[in-house]
Amino acid sequence: MEFRELKIAGAWEITPRQFGDGRGVFLEWFKGSAFEAAVGRPLDLRQANCSVSAAGVLRGIHFTDNPPGQAKYVTCVRGAFLDVIVDLRVGSPTFGQWDSVLIDDVDRRAVFLSEGLGHAILSLEDGSTVMYLCSLEYTPTLDRDLHPLDPELGINWPTAGRDGTEFAFQLSDKDAAAPTLAAASEAGLLPRYESGTHPVG
């Protein structure tokens, strides 16, 4: 496994080593010892989720009140997604900035994001399937959202899939009604960098 820290502190891209032959492919998409050595903390697994999306489905930007916060370890088992991490921690040197990783069924990369970071995924083909490990069980009262098309964030979302076919973004009603970064900040909904939201190690 190769770990690469993204420009947002507390977020990593993980590239597994794949072993293939005529029967197929084997890989370790998560390994606790390698994870802890690279990230400097364990992943306290509390829930594992699976989501399947049509091309153009845009999910997020989602985050969780911090504390307690929710860390996520995300991979794509079918199709392709653009995975975007946004720094929502007030006081962070990269506050309001974002980074992205293409996760797909070719390179089979994963992404880890620490508590306090925002997360969004855009499906790049029909039937794309993402699996993610969470450090906190789903708790609706702690869930927060930001609008993924907020011009202040300026996320460079693609408008065509992996095969070049153009699509329109599909958002849930909840995501379409989400506030902008400025509105969430004004309402005091964002985590603070100095309250333990940055990574350990």
CATH number of the structural domain spanning residue 121: 2.60.120.10
Q: Which of 62, 119, 147, 198 is catalytic?
A: 62
pLDDT for the residue numbered 71: 97
- Asked, for residue 101, whether it belongs to a domain, the answer is yes
Give ∠ CA 43-97-117 in degrees, rounded to 5: 25
Q: Active-site residue 132, yes or no?
A: yes
Within a domain: 123 = yes
Per the domain annotation, does 33 fall within a domain? Answer: yes
Distance CA 77, CA 104 (A): 7
* CA dist., res. 88 & res. 190, Å (int): 6
Is residue 94 included in any domain, yes or no?
yes
Q: Is 62 a catalytic residue?
A: yes
Domain that holds residue 136: 2-195
Which residue, among 169, 192, 163, 65, has the nearest Cα to 120 in the 3D structure?
169
| Domain total of the chain | 1
Reported residue count of the chain is 201
Q: What is the pLDDT of residues 50-64, one digit of tens each?
A: 999 999 999 999 999
Model pLDDT, residue 92: 95
Residue 16 in domain: yes
What per-residue confidence (pLDDT) applies to 39?
97
What is the rounded CA–CA span in Å between residue 183 and residue 73? 28
CA gap 110, 29 in Å, rounded: 7
Task: Report if residue 150 sits inside a domain.
Answer: yes
CB burial class (10 A; 0-12, 13-18, 19+) of residue 187? exposed
In a domain, residue 75? The reply is: yes
Query: What pLDDT, on a 0 to 100 scale, did the predictor assign at position 194?
Result: 66
Residues linked to residue 51 through DSSP beta bridges, in sequence order? 130
- pTM score, two decimals? 0.94
| 12 touches 111 (CB < 8 A) | yes
The mean pLDDT value of the chain amounts to 95
Tens-level pLDDT at each residue, the chain (201 residues): 999 999 999 999 999 999 999 999 999 999 999 999 999 999 999 999 999 999 999 999 999 999 999 999 999 999 999 999 999 999 999 999 999 999 999 999 999 999 999 999 999 999 999 999 999 999 999 999 999 999 999 999 999 999 999 999 999 999 999 999 999 999 999 999 864 444 433
Which residues, 6 or more positions from 70, have their beta carbon under 8 angstroms from its beta carbon? Answer: 63, 64, 115, 134, 135, 136, 142
Q: Is residue 200 a part of any domain in this protein? A: no
Which among 73, 132, 193, 198 is annotated as catalytic?
A: 132
Across 37-151, the runs of DSSP E, i.e. the strands, are 47-53, 58-64, 72-78, 80-87, 98-104, 110-113, 117-123, 128-134, 143-145
